Amino acid sequence: MNKILLILALFFTLLACSVFQAPSLPTPFPTSTVPPSPTVPPPPPLRSLAEEKGFWIGSAVSYEYLHTDSIYRDLLAREFNLLATENDLKFGPVHPEPDRYDFEGGDALVAFAQANGMAVRGHTLVWDWQNPDWLVEGNYTRDELISILREHIYTVVGRYRGQIAAWDVVNEALDADGNLGDTFWLRGIGPEYIPLAFQWAHEADPDAQLFYNEQAAERMNAKSDGVYALVKGLRDRGIPIHGVGMQMHVDLNAAPPPGEVAANMARLGELGLEVHITEMDVRVGSEITPEQLHRQAVIYQDDCLDSGVCHSLELTDLIFR
């Protein structure tokens, strides 16, 4: 894994350098008479190192940028073996009207991934945010909401059956104390919306890996305890769930202690679940130095690569302008 750490450091250094413009020289330097040093070969792509370990390395991807920016496309295809749908398959964008779905973005992302030998993570089927107005303002009964959600999951997951390897089925259902949050779906259906969503996703694509995805639940705290209790309860009931997504939005100077993250991952692994880092960003501020980028890469390694139960690391996005 040290090779992956080195390449991560180089990768983020290159991304950082791409946002700066080198200053112009005041006067030309004289021509050097020293023979040039041998050319150093470029580091191997991240994906080739990850694939040696049976590991996914990926990023959230937006159709908006994918179809307009060749640099963005080339970087994704070269470095990553996993593509996560950033917004295009969320409820609002993909199901903007009661009887209409818009799969333009999702289809394009899946096609790009297939053309470049990348797996796909679908994000997300059930969330309290980015729901369409027709849904949240519809004053539907509980039975009507159950029917709407079931049809939505069957339609979206079914369309990509066999093409999307993993789904974030339910996203951010808990509050800071680890209890079920006051969400649209909890108010409309009740706690059963969570197991129902997993069951319907499994029926729509029995081969897809199904994940519960949560923020600020990486370290050992009340929220991660709530995640553990939720997914253990689903497992105990025989509900099809295969893993937990830890989002990992952290700051360079306030990252969760690696020991706590490892302990949290280990207890989830003991339930027979995988852990994926699904939206990772390690914020370094506006003044970026090589030392900060090295510390950033170490956090990436500590929080996933050394755990033994974490099999995927995805960036929240590629920002390189």
Which residues touch 7 (CB under 8 Å, ≥6 apart)? Answer: 43, 44, 46, 49
Domain layout of the chain by residue ranges: 2-11+43-315
Can you tell me the mean pLDDT for 254-282?
94
86, 218, 274, 279: the catalytic one is 279
- 97 a catalytic residue: no
CA distance 195 to 234: 7
Outline where 254-302 has alpha helix (H).
Answer: 258-270, 290-300
pLDDT score of 18? 38
Instruction: From 120, 77, 62, 156, select the one nearest 312 (Cα to Cα).
Output: 120
pLDDT score of 230? 99
172, 214, 218, 314: the catalytic one is 172
CB 313 within 8 A of CB 274: no
Q: Can you name the CATH fold of 2-11+43-315? A: TIM Barrel (3.20.20)
Summarised one tens digit per residue, pLDDT across range 76-132 is: 999 999 999 999 999 999 999 999 999 999 999 999 999 999 999 999 999 999 999
Q: What's the predicted TM-score (pTM) here?
A: 0.88
Looking at per-residue pLDDT, the higher value among 229 and 303 belongs to 229
- 279 a catalytic residue: yes
Lowest mean pLDDT among 124-128, 151-155, 284-288, 291-295: 284-288
- Asked if the model's pLDDT at residue 60 lies above 90, the reply is yes
CB 312 within 8 A of CB 276: yes
Can you tell me the mean pLDDT for 200-224?
98
